[in-house]
């Protein structure tokens, strides 16, 4: 079926796909396949996301001359291979003299018929585009045949300027290619911004987002099409690759998108969980790992990480290891075994007692006359890290670490011990939300989850007081405030950058707030060496929040 010959109808294929940074050939192959699907569906144009050809975000890789050259060669090849059929829109780098642009190319008939350059270069949160790219002059629309199209690139659609300039220059539809990473409840933010553009410009708008995990960033898809007055015509799914064919029809009022699929938006518990699953799945797949292992302690954090891993990779690719000491309770042994059995993952027991005895004996001459304390507790954790890393090396399994955001924030973790590992699925999940996510997963199952449905995290694990079990009768609350208090303070200090005085005004004890502030600052060196994990909030530890390791500032207000 060839493209429509009628001038009152224009079919667009929206390719919400998952590129891999640096896999230029693989990304081009995905683009060709999407183009072929569009051609077979009679599309006039196939639309791919921002920077799709090279993946997003490339960070400083884009500055490598050889990388840029290979990207341009792939674009030329794509241009030739997609000459006979619909137009293809695809994002990639563009060199203009000494300037590098974030560009969007329209390929047609073996040529680039239009190039749009990104104008607003985001330079906040996880974005560093001013470091990498140069902005060009604001641009108008391009001629798509029966209609004129404006293609503001991602950030260009978050402010009125670029969209208004394109429409004032004759754009009848706005088609926005995006690389917009997830944070909790972001879809509402995006939708409100795009409704504002549609209202201001009085034209329909296509919002095409990429999908997939890249390091800490998760691109959640959720592409949509709006008609005038913000009327939703199409809503694509979240956290999965999808292709949608959308027909625009010319009416007396201008071009209108015909109604299509309208997927229902998941709640924030589901989107957080889906982001963690996708983040792990893509981190593994894109780095070449097939299997994971983790220390399963009988606690809530390792239990939810095991569930995420089983849902992401399949239970057959997950191995859980219990590493008991004399402080490990019978309840923890029972609970860990039950969690592994429910998920259907492999479960091994490797006692640390003999290794610990040897280490204690080796250090005894140096430690003679000194009281036992934190050092001996950390030795246990580091032995576990050693034994898990040895298994990771021997079996080719990536070790997952299991520290939640509350622990990562205040340093309640042992560097080179329980912080050892290649990826941390719950790095941006506060402890109180870990409990909530556990309950959510027990009550919900989705087709994209590879583990069984039902109670995957035994209720006994959720209900018992959290403990590191590194000494007799230890509880997390011995060292930290109760987690609802701790997480409330951390949300203010980290996510809101609030002052100590504001925390006190919110009802928190000043001494407790000051203690948490101190722990937060002195733990920066641990976070600097910690494993990456999926970004779920606007203040995830890494690119969102960049603090110095050496820092004597304290808020005395």
| Residue 145 annotated in ligand binding | no
Catalytic residue among 30, 118, 286, 427: 118
- Dihedral of the alpha carbons of 451, 454, 459, 462, in degrees to the nearest 10: 50
- Contact indicator for 430, 405 with CB cutoff of 8 Å: yes
What is the spatial distance between Cα 186 and Cα 425, in angstroms, rounded to a whole number? 20
CA angle 36, 39, 41 (to 5 degrees): 110
427 assigned to active site: no
CA atoms of 203 and 194, how far apart (whole Å) = 11
Is 530 assigned a ligand-binding role in the annotation? Answer: no
Q: Are 281 and 311 in contact (CB under 8 A)?
A: no
Q: Is position 300 annotated in a ligand binding site?
A: yes
HEC letters along 118-153:
CCCCCCCCCCCHHHHCCCCCCCCCEECCCCEEECCC
What CA–CA distance (Å, rounded) separates 197 from 190? 11
The active-site residue, picked from 50, 129, 172, 377, is 50
Is 18 labelled as part of a ligand binding site?
A: no
Whether 332 has a binding-site annotation, put simply, is no
Residue 513's CB is within 10 A of a number of other CB atoms, namely 24
Give residue 47's Cα distance to chain centre.
Answer: 23
3-state secondary structure of 423: strand
Residue 402 marked ligand-binding? yes
Does 299 count as an annotated binding residue?
Answer: yes
CA dist 520 to 411, 488, 489, 501, 533, Å?
A: 7, 14, 11, 17, 19
Determine whether the annotation assigns residue 301 to a binding site.
yes
The reply, when asked if residue 514 is annotated as ligand binding, is no
User: Any binding-site annotation on 186?
Assistant: yes
Q: Does 223 carry a binding-site annotation?
A: no
* Distance (Å, whole) CA 471 – CA 376: 9
Are 187 and 224 in contact by the 8 Å Cβ rule? The answer is: no
Catalytic residue flag (residue 154) = yes
The question of whether 464 is a catalytic residue gets the answer no
* Active-site residue (options: 154, 163, 201, 438): 154
Residue 551 marked as a ligand binder: no
Binding site members: 180, 186, 295-302, 378, 402, 407, 526
Which residues form the catalytic set? 50, 118, 154
Binding residues for deamido-NAD(+): 378, 407, 526
Which residue ranges make up the annotated binding site for ATP? Answer: 295-302, 402
Binding residues for L-glutamine, by number, are 180, 186
């Amino acid at each position: 079926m060839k493209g429509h010959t009628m001038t009152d109808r224009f079919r667009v294929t929206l390719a919400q796909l998952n590129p891999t940074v640096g896999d230029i050939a693989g990304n081009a192959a995905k683009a060709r396949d999407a183009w072929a699907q569009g051609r077979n569906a009679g599309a006039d144009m196939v639309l791919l996301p921002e920077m799709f050809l090279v993946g997003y975000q490339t960070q400083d890789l884009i500055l490598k001359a050889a990388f840029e050259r290979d990207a341009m060669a792939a674009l030329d090849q794509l241009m030739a291979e997609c000459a006979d059929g619909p137009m293809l829109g695809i994002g990639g780098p563009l060199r203009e003299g000494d300037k590098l642009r974030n560009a969007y190319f329209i390929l047609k008939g073996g040529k680039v018929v239009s190039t749009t350059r990104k104008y607003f270069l985001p330079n906040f949160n996880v974005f560093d585009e001013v470091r990498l790219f140069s902005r060009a002059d604001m641009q108008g629309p391009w001629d798509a045949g029966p209609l004129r199209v404006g293609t503001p690139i991602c950030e260009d659609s978050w402010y009125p300027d670029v969209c208004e300039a394109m429409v004032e220059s004759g754009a009848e539809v706005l088609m926005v290619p995006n690389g917009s990473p997830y944070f909790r409840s972001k879809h509402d933010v995006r939708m409100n911004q795009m409704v504002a553009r549609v209202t201001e410009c009085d034209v329909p708008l296509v919002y095409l987002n990429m999908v997939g995990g890249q390091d800490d960033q998760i691109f959640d898809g959720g592409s949509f099409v709006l008609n005038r007055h913000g009327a939703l015509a199409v809503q694509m799914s979240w956290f999965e690759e999808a292709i949608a064919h959308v027909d625009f029809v010319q009416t007396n009022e201008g071009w209108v998108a015909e109604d299509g699929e309208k997927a229902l938006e998941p709640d924030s518990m589901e989107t957080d969980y889906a982001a963690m699953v996708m983040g792990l799945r893509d981190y593994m797949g894109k780095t070449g790992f097939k299997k994971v292992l983790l220390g399963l302690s009988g606690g809530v954090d390792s239990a939810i990480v095991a569930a995420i891993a089983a849902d992401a990779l399949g239970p057959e690719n997950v191995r859980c290891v219990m590493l008991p000491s004399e402080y490990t309770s019978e309840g923890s042994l029972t609970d860990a075994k039950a969690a592994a059995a429910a998920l259907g993952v492999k479960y091994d027991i490797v006692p640390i007692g003999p290794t610990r005895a040897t280490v204690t004996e080796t250090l005894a001459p140096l430690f003679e006359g000194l009281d036992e304390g934190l050092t001996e507790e950390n030795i246990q954790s580091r032995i576990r890290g050693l034994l898990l890393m040895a298994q990771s090396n021997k079996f080719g399994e990536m070790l997952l670490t299991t520290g939640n955001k509350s622990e990562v924030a205040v340093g309640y973790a042992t560097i080179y011990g329980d912080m050892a590992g290649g990826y941390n699925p719950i790095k941006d999940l506060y402890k109180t939300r870990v409990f909530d996510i556990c309950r959510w997963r027990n009550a919900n199952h989705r087709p994209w989850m590879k583990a069984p449905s039902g109670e995957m995290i035994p209720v006994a694990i959720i209900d018992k007081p959290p403990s590191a079990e590194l000494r007799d009768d230890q509880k997390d609350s011995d060292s930290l405030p109760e987690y609802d208090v701790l997480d409330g303070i951390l949300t203010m200090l980290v996510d809101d950058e609030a002052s100590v005085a504001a925390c006190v005004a919110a009802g928190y004890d000043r001494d407790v707030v000051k203690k948490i502030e101190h722990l937060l600052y002195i733990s920066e060196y641990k976070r600097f060496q910690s494993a990456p994990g999926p970004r779920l909030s606007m203040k995830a530890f890494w690119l969102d929040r960049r603090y110095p390791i050496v820092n004597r500032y304290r808020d005395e207000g």
